[in-house]
Each structure stands twice: as structure tokens, then as C-alpha cells.
Amino acid sequence: MRDIFDKLHERMGPLGQHADDAHGYYTFPKLEGPIGPRMIFRGKERLNWSLNNYLGLANHPDVMKADTDAAAQFGMAYPMGARMMSGNSNYHEQLERDLASFVQKPDCILLNYGYQGVLSAIDALVDRHDVIVYDAESHACIIDGVRLHMGKRFVYNHNNMESLEQQLKRATKLVESTGGAILVITEGVFGMTGSQGKLKEIVAMKEKFNFRLLVDDAHGFGTMGKTGAGTCEEQDCIEGVDIYFSTFAKSMAGIGAFIASEPHVIKFLRYNMRSQIYAKALPMPLVVGSIKRLEMIRTQPELKNKLWTITNALQNGLKEAGFNIGITTTPVTPVVLNGTIPEATHLTHDLRENFNIFCSIVVYPVVPKGMIILRLIPTAVHSLDDVNETIAAFKSIKSKLDAGEYRKEKLAEFA
């Protein structure tokens, strides 16, 4: 009889198969020192484009002070227990009210983590009679929420409204026989390509089909829309999005997440989301720190304006230099190159070691074979000099790539 661990050696998984060659450098790198555009990687300062610290709040002195004051006052334990049993506080409820008002929804529920929150919101909302229709390039938390669903799920081609319409027709037919209903799920901003979900067009389909819409706006909250309220504000369709989700892991530079919706939906979620009912409440420094961050996002529009100044300079500069940055309309900036996985590692090694630039690198199986994406996340704390330095470095590595200088059999080694 086989041991359950036998297969671990045979099947490390799509990412794990690179563990021995990549660990500590391409995967699980350690970025040290204060969070910001210049951080230490392997003992040397590098210009860093890999953090979702969009508004630069992670290391802002006012944020640090709010976090540390709250930790000094409450410690990390309070409140103990799940919110339903013993872990509720006035601060948790204040943050919910502040978030609801900021995203222009009547009510809100705080979540311990975004990933678990999305997963169990989906689990709570649908039963086996219902049908989920979701975008093919949805984040893993959506996919895993869909996996929990006991009824049918139909996937539509990424951002393809014809495909969505086809799946809605199928779903409508099915729920007519099961007596269930339809939940459509997509993202506000897709984190790999930087394209926006076609929220306004999806909302318009409500004229033809009966469904509710859940949007994961992890990358849009704080970065998109006139006030930073997110991609629904940007596309002027706040009302048509029935369930708005975002995490604190990006613009808010914290931990936690929330869902905003109508009061009866939030009341239902409060009493039915297993990931929240059976897990400890967010500790006070994260809650008080989030109240501070949200106040800053609300009252300091200059943070978002600076993010967009850097974003526009970076994206325009890259385009002028002949780079393909895909179809982004958000700060997420993918630089699309062609090459093998060994080429990708030699190029990244050169970029990090000789140009001191650190950014995320995405290769097969996350993107098609032969494609390399260098993913840059501009922030409000980058400078125009950082942008110019990066574009100059990218020009150099691109010409080396085109000249075949990175064409090697083996992955680049690091000491």
C-alpha cells in the first residue's frame, strides 16, 4: 500500500517543481528594511516594483503610529474569540460603517482575510439549486469558493461578454428547472494584466437576465474611481454591483478585508459565513490601523493622484520605448516579453544583480509557454527618477534578450 507522502516526491505541483532551483531567489525572496521603493535584497539595495503598496501607506509615519499606539493600548490578542461569540468591539463596527460609507453602500461586514472571506461568502450565498457564472481568469479565492459549490458552475471566457451571455442563457434555463438563482462573479481589476472587469456591461445584462453580481475589487479599491472607492465608481455602476468585496492587503497595506452590500445581505452573511463565525476576530491594531488608513485614503486624494502620476509616467515611458504592456488601464503594469523559462531567469538575474531592479516575474504555467511577464506595481512613494532608471534598465535587458544573450539551456544560478 502506498504512503500518502509517496506522491509528494513525484508531483511537486506546477510551482513546486521549481522549488530546488528557485527557492530564496525567484521564489520566497526576502525583501528587508523599511517597506518602500528601495529595499534590501540579498544584502544590497534594489529599486523595488513588486509590492501592492499602491498608496504608499505601508510605511507612512501616521499609519505606523496608529498601528503601534493601538498595539500598546490593546496588545495583539484583544478581542478574543470570534466576533459572534465574544470578539466584537465598537472599533470593528466603526470600521464597517466607515467602509460602507466610503464605497457608497448601505452596509458592510469586516472579514479576517480576503481569501477566506470570498470563499465562504460564495459558499454561504449559493445552494445546490443555484448556478454560479464566473470569469475564467478569476483569482484563486473565487475559484476555490466555486469549488465548494454543490450545484452547477459555468465559466465564461475572460472578459468576453458574448461568452457571458451564452453562459447566462444556459444558467437561466437550468435554474428554471431547479428553482434556484444565478450568481455572477468577476474582478474589478485583474491583477496580472491590469485590465478592468467589464462591470458596466455585466450590470447592463441584468436587463435581459436575472442574476446578482459579486465583484472582487482587491486591486481597484483605493486606486480606481474619482474618490478611490474602486472600479464600480470608475465605471459608474456602484448600484448594479450587488456584493462589493475588497481586501486590506493592497491599497490599505494591512490585513483584513470587507464585503459591502444591502443590509439584509450583510445580516445574512454575518450569521452564515463559516470562515468568520468559526475564526477569531481581527485584533485591535489591525482594526484601529485600518480606520486610520481609510481616513487617509478619504482625506488625502494626493496619495491616489501621485500613484497615477507615477503610473502614467511608467506606462507611457515603457510604451514610448517600444515595450508591450498589454491592455492595462490600471496601475498594474505588465511588461510582456518573449522567451523560455531559462531566458527569463537569466534576464531576471541580470536585472536584479547588475541593474539593482527587483520586480515580479511571471512565466509558464501562469502565462502561455514562451511568454515572460515582468510585473511592475507603481506606488505613490516611487519617484520619476525611479521610473527613468527602470526604463533605461529595461531597454538594456530587452536588447540583450533580443540579441540572444540570455539564451541558455539551464536556469540562472544564484549563490
Decide if 139 contacts 94 (C-beta within 8 A).
no
Of residues 120 and 340, the one with the C-beta less far from ligand PLP: 120
- Number of CB atoms found within 10 A of residue 157's CB: 14
Q: To the nearest whole angstrom, how small is the minimum distance from the Cβ of residue 135 to ligand PLP? A: 11
Q: How would you label 83-117 residue by residue, b for 16+ Cβ within 10 Å and e otherwise?
A: beeebebebbeebbebbbebbbbebbbbbbbbbbb
SS3 56: coil
Instruction: Name the one range near ligand PLP by CB under 6 A: 10-18, 111-119, 318-326, 351-359.
Output: 111-119
Does position 218 bind ligand PLP by CB under 6 A? yes
Q: To the nearest whole angstrom, how small is the minimum distance from the Cβ of residue 290 to ligand PLP? A: 12
Q: What are the beta bridge partners of residue 187? A: 216
Q: To the nearest whole angstrom, how small is the minimum distance from the Cβ of residue 117 to ligand PLP? A: 7
Which residues ranging from 307 to 336 are in contact with ligand PLP (CB under 6 A)?
none
- Number of CB atoms found within 10 A of residue 28's CB: 9
**Residue 324 in grid coordinates:** 508591450
Instruction: Name the one range near ligand PLP by CB under 6 A: 62-70, 74-82, 110-118, 146-154.
Output: 110-118
Does position 214 bind ligand PLP by CB under 6 A? no
> 475559484: which residue's cell?
143
Q: Dihedrals φ, ψ of 130, to 5°?
A: -90, 165
Q: Residue 387 and residue 314: Cα distance in Å, rounded?
A: 6
Give the residue, chosen from 67, 216, 233, 343, that forms a contact with ligand PLP under the rule CB under 6 A. Answer: 216
Does position 346 bind ligand PLP by CB under 6 A? no
Phi/psi region, residue 114 (left: phi>0; alpha: psi -120 to 50; beta: rest), is alpha
Q: To the nearest whole angstrom, how small is the minimum distance from the Cβ of residue 124 to ligand PLP? A: 17
Q: To the nearest whole angstrom, how small is the minimum distance from the Cβ of residue 215 to ligand PLP? A: 10
Task: Tell me how many residues contact ligand PLP (CB under 6 A).
Answer: 13
Of residues 107 and 216, the one with the C-beta less far from ligand PLP: 216
Of residues 249 and 265, the one with the C-beta less far from ligand PLP: 249
Of residues 63 and 351, the one with the C-beta less far from ligand PLP: 63
Does position 120 bind ligand PLP by CB under 6 A? no
Of residues 255 and 391, the one with the C-beta less far from ligand PLP: 255
Does position 191 bind ligand PLP by CB under 6 A? yes
Q: To the nearest whole angstrom, how small is the minimum distance from the Cβ of residue 298 to ligand PLP? A: 20
Of residues 25 and 115, the one with the C-beta less far from ligand PLP: 115
Of residues 187 and 350, the one with the C-beta less far from ligand PLP: 187
Q: To the nearest whole angstrom, how small is the minimum distance from the Cβ of residue 317 to ligand PLP? A: 26
Of residues 135 and 350, the one with the C-beta less far from ligand PLP: 135
Which residues ranging from 226 to 265 are in contact with ligand PLP (CB under 6 A)?
247, 249, 257
Dihedral sign (CA 265, 127, 112, 234): negative
Decide if 119 contacts 112 (C-beta within 8 A).
no
CA nearest to 203, candidates 161, 166, 175, 173: 161
Of residues 47 and 132, the one with the C-beta less far from ligand PLP: 132
Decide if 221 contacts 256 (C-beta within 8 A).
no
Q: Residue 119 and residue 236: Cα distance in Å, rounded?
A: 26
Decide if 361 contacts 348 (C-beta within 8 A).
yes
Q: To the nearest whole angstrom, how small is the minimum distance from the Cβ of residue 112 to ligand PLP? A: 8
Q: Which residue is nearest to ligand PLP (CB)?
A: 114
CA nearest to 114, candidates 72, 52, 45: 52
Half-sphere exposure of residue 141: CA atoms within 13 angstroms, side-chain side: 23
Give the residue, chosen from 187, 233, 242, 343, that forms a contact with ligand PLP under the rule CB under 6 A. Answer: 187
257-261 β-sheet, strand order: 107-111, 257-261, 243-247, 212-216, 182-187, 131-135, 152-156
Helical segments of 222-277, H only: 231-234, 263-272, 274-277
Of residues 99 and 337, the one with the C-beta less far from ligand PLP: 99
Instruction: Name the one range near ligand PLP by CB under 6 A: 78-86, 109-117, 269-277, 390-398.
Output: 109-117
Give the residue, chosen from 79, 87, 114, 225, that forms a contact with ligand PLP under the rule CB under 6 A. Answer: 114
Which residues ranging from 124 to 163 are in contact with ligand PLP (CB under 6 A)?
139, 141
Binding site for ligand PLP (CB under 6 A): 113-115, 118, 139, 141, 187, 191, 216, 218, 247, 249, 257
